[in-house]
Amino acid sequence: LAKTTQPISMDSYEGQEVNITCSHNNIATNDYITWYQQFPSQGPRFIIQGYKTKVTNEVASLFIPADRKSSTLSLPRVSLSDTAVYYCLVYNQAGTALIFGKGTTLSVSS
């Protein structure tokens, strides 16, 4: 399984765009990149998933360069409620368990 590296913590203010970058140098051809959000005492919640280039949904965008060795989660105009831990994970389609790294603790202030 490809190991991921992401910043331990990030700080932002309400209304700003937040970009969290994740490194996954050993990503395999069949691997997908997925991001989850976790609030305290809750289970992780799926944010977005992608294989290459750019993926956008109603809450975030995911940018993946051509070499796929990194990815960036972009949260537009964060609010206080976006304060959470964000996990970057790499997995293949075979249905194996998601292996969580340390995640990035995002703190949004007013």
Partner 1 sequence: GAVVSQHPSWVICKSGTSVKIECRSLDFQATTMFWYRQFPKQSLMLMATSNEGSKATYEQGVEKDKFLINHASLTLSTLTVTSAHPEDSSFYICSALTSGGQGEQFFGPGTRLTVL
Task: Kindly tell me which of 13 and 46 has the beta carbon lying closer to partner 1.
Answer: 46
End-to-end CA distance of the chain: 38
CB of 32 to partner 1, least distance (A): 8
Residues within the interface to partner 1 (CB under 8 A):
32, 36, 41-46, 49, 87, 93-95, 97-103
* Residue number with CB closer to partner 1 (58 or 110): 58
Q: How far is residue 32's CA from residue 53's CA, in Å, rounded to a whole number?
A: 12
Smallest separation, CB 78 to partner 1 (Å): 22
Nearer to partner 1, 70 or 103 (CB): 103
Q: How many CB atoms lie within 10 A of CB 91?
A: 19
DSSP 42: S
Measured from the CB of residue 89, what is the shortest distance to partner 1 in angstroms?
10
Contact between 86 and 20 under an 8 Å Cβ cutoff? The reply is: yes
